[in-house]
A and B are shown apart, each in its own frame.
Chain A
């Protein structure tokens, strides 16, 4: 359950190719691609209060717009998180799998999962109602978008989130109320090859 807020972020980051809707953020949406499949690498750097050194990790991800997302950390240890239409699952380094959210368990869980999936499927409406959006567009096609949470529960988790990119989202910075900062850079973003049968099955 810890991870669902995090997942919400990935979904947001990777699927900003949304149908035009709200006023603020329209410019960003116009510049973003809207791929059915997106693969890529990520590098994450986290600066925590009370830690001398930043925590670095890296891995890869696969997004299938109509099925869900698989987020695989490779370094410094292997773990994986998968979001499907019905479930949110985490696979720990020891190979054990934990169901974090099961939509069939209760209406509340269904609501959490439905929100996550709506994001992956490109429904920005739900997100725009929970964050205020502020965009800055550059002449070269680049942009940045700042999100600030609207409601009390999300404010407990985030101070602000800043995204930047061009056709794709290239970087994310997350600032938390306690002062912790997380920076994620994406690289090697591509819309091919299509998902293998095994990859698709993982997100069933």
Chain B
């Protein structure tokens, strides 16, 4: 070694030491950040947050945001006993049981004065407000029919209903309100009662969740509170009581408590597995402490960076991240395995010689994980950032700290020795008869499996709510006539009036769909707060008809022509109307001015998949009306990125193949083939098992490429070296364990992810040594690569 080299090495050593200290400062800051973070964890539990928002325009984004905001925090409970009296008692008991706790608070019961105030507000605009049926009747009614109607109303045992006969001789006004009430909901004994299609009465209770859903302890306080209240209410009702519960907080809580369980089992499980392997292999506390510390630093850095970039960390990211311990430990284990195999080499020299291989391994893994973030799915991007940060921070910790802190002499263990020796006895694939038969079998298996492989772009891969909750939710939606937030019409216009006019054209077309039995109904602002143009047109129908009715009836009865109150002009403005307390259900539908244009949402009730395509075309030809199908959009995105990632995967295999060729020449295939075989075999297995390939399956394949090729690289790089084989085995075992645990996740996407990698990594691990070069025939690569420890002094 020359002097210049020695001085540069010592300068490098100084810089290394400085970097190690600087990293300590970073780690201390991370520790502080963690204390702050976990005091009030900003953890997102909403599954929809993982899906891409509407990126194409501001109004669509506002509409989607509005629809998800409108339901967040609401918990709905419906109770029904065999008779109303017991239902009533049960509902009261339920509400008071909830009131004693602090997890939920009762939503303000409907204001009794709200109706009379709303009627008073709308009264001056009355003549411009007609139901479609009234409009049609007035258009075609003869003067005689109008007079008869007025007479019949006059002689009906109960009069005008709202105000005097003279002000509303045709009874248009109460009927308009009747149409507004809709939904079969009514106030009854201070409760909201709903009657279902079978004639059964349900009491409706609304609550708001008072606390964030996520708790790391896995408790489910909402669930427990509701369960306790249900028990009390059932007792009060005399034993027989049906209870339906729904609301976003319940889904969030179920997801949170399950995820908390999974984070704990996967995270702690893979951490303990890694530490156990380290203990078995190295029989010493130091490697355990160091590997454990590097993993903790990686995790802390990942949480800090993710929450810094995204504002919060998603639960699914945490569950996914928990499996990273099984990947990130590779660097530390590799180092200790080589130290054990070559105890004579000092720590820093060892680390320096390992650095290229470790960096290459980090690079391939990081690239694979970053590929997850190519698709614009916020959830996948988070996972990509989380994994990249965790791996990088663990790598930096290992490289900067291990050589300084690992002062002792590595100890030998029988476990490690046995594994290291096992490489020599591992079967090799040879191009002979047995090898040919094996190749043929594999070809048949792969060919048949790939032929059977189907693709799916179903959104439900992300949804994992308990089936009971989904069933209840469905029943509630049916009972309350709740519209679907997944499909709707977005209506746009230059001003509020233009939006209302477009809505009115749309609802007229929707009425034809209702008449054809394809739809139950819709919810639109213009039904209650029509455009000025429509108000004026309706007034032109109503005012002459009412005048005629009053004059004729008075003449028939010999009464003087009654004095009438003159109503103002058509002037009901949508913004004023929306301020009324009764307009609360309409407010989420009105987006107002967004990005220079006005917009609103028209929601649909009773839409079934069978009629989806027909209803979707309802808005065609109406200017400013757009059909939005979020489910289809998501499926389309999943499809697009599944195909795109598929091509990326192929490109990735080609690129990795070229890189291997440049480094290992004739032997490159030995590192490449095991991973390709594992990928094909795992895909074929999916085909044989009838599991469709989803975007997440393709992403798992990308990770398999990134992680699997490493094993081949390590084995070729340090050919026939038992220590490398030990590192590969320990790394693969812990990775297998981590993804095996991930495959236990209840989230379908993570489950599939874990399963693909469990199978794939397992195969790469078993196959890689089968393709190692013959020990008797020194390889070109071996001759080319300088001995890794030649720099040792």
The finding on whether chains A and B are genuine partners in a shared complex, rather than unrelated, reads yes
- Interface status of A162 (Cβ within 8 A of chain B): no
Which of A2, A94, A180, A184 gathers most chain B CB within 10 Å? Answer: A2
Q: Which residue of B lies closest to A3 (CB)?
A: B156
Are A107 and B557 neighbours in the complex by a CB distance under 8 Å? no
Within B518-535, which residues are at the interface with A (CB < 8 Å)? 520-521
Are B119 and A156 neighbours in the complex by a CB distance under 8 Å? yes
Q: Which residue of A lies closest to B481 (CB)?
A: A107
- Interface status of B116 (Cβ within 8 A of chain A): yes
- Chain B interface residue count, CB cutoff 8 Å, equals 55
Task: Chain A residues near B770: list those with CB within 8 A.
Answer: none
- Interface status of B178 (Cβ within 8 A of chain A): yes
Which of A49, A53, A126, A153 gathers most chain B CB within 10 Å? Answer: A153
- Interface status of A93 (Cβ within 8 A of chain B): yes
- Interface status of A188 (Cβ within 8 A of chain B): no
Are A157 and B161 neighbours in the complex by a CB distance under 8 Å? yes
CA distance A116 to B175 in the complex (A): 17
Task: Chain B residues near A108: list those with CB within 8 A.
Answer: 181-184, 481
Task: Chain B residues near A184: list those with CB within 8 A.
Answer: 157
- Interface status of B746 (Cβ within 8 A of chain A): no
Are A110 and B184 neighbours in the complex by a CB distance under 8 Å? yes
Are B187 and A152 neighbours in the complex by a CB distance under 8 Å? yes
Are B157 and A114 neighbours in the complex by a CB distance under 8 Å? no
Within B97-117, which residues are at the interface with A (CB < 8 Å)? 112-116
Task: Chain A residues near B162: list those with CB within 8 A.
Answer: 156-157
A186 to chain B, nearest CB (A): 12
Are B154 and A106 neighbours in the complex by a CB distance under 8 Å? no
Within B174-217, which residues are at the interface with A (CB < 8 Å)? 174-175, 178-179, 181-184, 186-189, 195-197, 199
CA distance A119 to B489 in the complex (A): 41
Report if A182-B157 is in contact (Cβ < 8 Å); known contacts: A48-B165, A156-B116.
Answer: yes
Are B84 and A125 neighbours in the complex by a CB distance under 8 Å? yes
Q: Which residue of A lies closest to B119 (CB)?
A: A156
CA distance A172 to B158 in the complex (A): 11
Are B153 and A2 neighbours in the complex by a CB distance under 8 Å? yes
Are B195 and A44 neighbours in the complex by a CB distance under 8 Å? no
B480 to chain A, nearest CB (A): 10
Partner of B158, one of A5, A51, A106, A114: A5
Are B115 and A94 neighbours in the complex by a CB distance under 8 Å? no
Are B85 and A125 neighbours in the complex by a CB distance under 8 Å? yes
- Interface status of A96 (Cβ within 8 A of chain B): yes
CA distance A92 to B152 in the complex (A): 8
CA distance A172 to B576 in the complex (A): 42
- Interface status of A134 (Cβ within 8 A of chain B): no
CA distance A10 to B175 in the complex (A): 19
Are B159 and A178 neighbours in the complex by a CB distance under 8 Å? yes
CA distance A52 to B597 in the complex (A): 56
CA distance A38 to B521 in the complex (A): 39
Task: Chain A residues near B181: list those with CB within 8 A.
Answer: 108, 153
A153 to chain B, nearest CB (A): 6
Are B158 and A50 neighbours in the complex by a CB distance under 8 Å? no
- Chain A interface residue count, CB cutoff 8 Å, equals 53
Are B85 and A6 neighbours in the complex by a CB distance under 8 Å? no
- Interface status of B171 (Cβ within 8 A of chain A): yes
Are A79 and B175 neighbours in the complex by a CB distance under 8 Å? no
Are A130 and B175 neighbours in the complex by a CB distance under 8 Å? no
- Interface status of A73 (Cβ within 8 A of chain B): yes
B580 to chain A, nearest CB (A): 14
Partner of A106, one of B153, B159, B520, B557: B520
CA distance A174 to B157 in the complex (A): 8
Report if A114-B196 is in contact (Cβ < 8 Å); known contacts: A77-B148, A152-B112, A153-B187.
Answer: no
- Interface status of A20 (Cβ within 8 A of chain B): no
The number of A-B residue pairs with CB atoms under 8 Å apart is 147
Are B187 and A151 neighbours in the complex by a CB distance under 8 Å? yes
User: Per-residue CB proximity of A97-137 to B under 8 Å, as 1/0?
Assistant: 00000000011101110110000000001100110000000
B140 to chain A, nearest CB (A): 11
Task: Chain B residues near A111: list those with CB within 8 A.
Answer: 184, 186, 195
CA distance A125 to B88 in the complex (A): 12
Partner of A114, one of B156, B171, B199, B559: B199
Are B187 and A44 neighbours in the complex by a CB distance under 8 Å? no
- Interface status of A29 (Cβ within 8 A of chain B): no
Are B157 and A2 neighbours in the complex by a CB distance under 8 Å? no
Partner of A93, one of B148, B189, B195: B148
- Interface status of A190 (Cβ within 8 A of chain B): no
B564 to chain A, nearest CB (A): 10
Q: Which residue of B lies closest to A182 (CB)?
A: B157
Task: Chain A residues near B187: list those with CB within 8 A.
Answer: 150-153
CA distance A178 to B158 in the complex (A): 12
Report if A10-B157 is in contact (Cβ < 8 Å); known contacts: A94-B148, A125-B84, A152-B115.
Answer: yes
Q: Which residue of A lies closest to B562 (CB)?
A: A50
Q: Which residue of A lies closest to B170 (CB)?
A: A2
Are A46 and B188 neighbours in the complex by a CB distance under 8 Å? no
Within B67-113, which residues are at the interface with A (CB < 8 Å)? 83-85, 88, 112-113
- Interface status of B151 (Cβ within 8 A of chain A): yes
CA distance A18 to B113 in the complex (A): 33
Are A73 and B161 neighbours in the complex by a CB distance under 8 Å? no
- Interface status of B694 (Cβ within 8 A of chain A): no
User: Per-residue CB proximity of B493-532 to A under 8 Å, as 1/0?
Assistant: 0000000000000000000000000001100000000000
Are B559 and A52 neighbours in the complex by a CB distance under 8 Å? yes
Partner of A2, one of B161, B197, B557: B161
Report if A51-B559 is in contact (Cβ < 8 Å); known contacts: A1-B178, A184-B157.
Answer: yes
Are B156 and A107 neighbours in the complex by a CB distance under 8 Å? no
Are B157 and A44 neighbours in the complex by a CB distance under 8 Å? yes
Within A1-22, which residues are at the interface with B (CB < 8 Å)? 1-6, 9-10
- Interface status of A166 (Cβ within 8 A of chain B): no
CA distance A174 to B563 in the complex (A): 25
Q: Which residue of A lies closest to B110 (CB)?
A: A152
Task: Chain B residues near A110: list those with CB within 8 A.
Answer: 184, 195, 197, 199
- Interface status of B308 (Cβ within 8 A of chain A): no
- Interface status of A148 (Cβ within 8 A of chain B): no
Task: Chain A residues near B188: list those with CB within 8 A.
Answer: 129-130, 150-151
CA distance A46 to B88 in the complex (A): 37
CA distance A111 to B481 in the complex (A): 13
- Interface status of B392 (Cβ within 8 A of chain A): no
Task: Chain A residues near B199: list those with CB within 8 A.
Answer: 110, 114
CA distance A112 to B199 in the complex (A): 10
Are B557 and A53 neighbours in the complex by a CB distance under 8 Å? yes
- Interface status of B466 (Cβ within 8 A of chain A): no
- Interface status of B163 (Cβ within 8 A of chain A): yes
Task: Chain B residues near A172: list those with CB within 8 A.
Answer: 157
Task: Chain B residues near A114: list those with CB within 8 A.
Answer: 195, 199
- Interface status of B149 (Cβ within 8 A of chain A): yes
A5 to chain B, nearest CB (A): 5
Are A55 and B557 neighbours in the complex by a CB distance under 8 Å? yes
Are A107 and B195 neighbours in the complex by a CB distance under 8 Å? yes
Report if A6-B197 is in contact (Cβ < 8 Å); known contacts: A77-B148, A150-B189.
Answer: no
Partner of A126, one of B84, B153, B179, B183: B84
Q: Which residue of A lies closest to B560 (CB)?
A: A52
- Interface status of A57 (Cβ within 8 A of chain B): yes
- Interface status of B612 (Cβ within 8 A of chain A): no
Which of A73, A106, A110, A112 gathers most chain B CB within 10 Å? Answer: A106
Partner of A73, one of B85, B114, B155, B163: B155
- Interface status of A176 (Cβ within 8 A of chain B): yes
- Interface status of B784 (Cβ within 8 A of chain A): no
Show 21 residue pairs from A and B whose CB-CB distance is below 8 angstroms, ordered by the A residue.
A1-B175, A2-B174, A5-B158, A106-B184, A107-B195, A107-B196, A108-B183, A110-B184, A110-B195, A111-B195, A125-B83, A125-B84, A125-B85, A150-B189, A151-B188, A152-B115, A152-B187, A156-B119, A174-B158, A180-B159, A180-B160
Known: A5-B161, A51-B557, A108-B181; 20 extra A-B contacts, CB below 8 A, are A1-B179, A4-B178, A6-B156, A50-B562, A51-B559, A77-B155, A79-B152, A93-B148, A93-B151, A106-B182, A107-B183, A108-B481, A114-B199, A115-B195, A126-B84, A150-B189, A151-B187, A157-B174, A172-B157, A176-B159
Which 3 pairs across A and B sit closest by C-beta, in order of nearness?
A111-B184, A151-B187, A2-B171
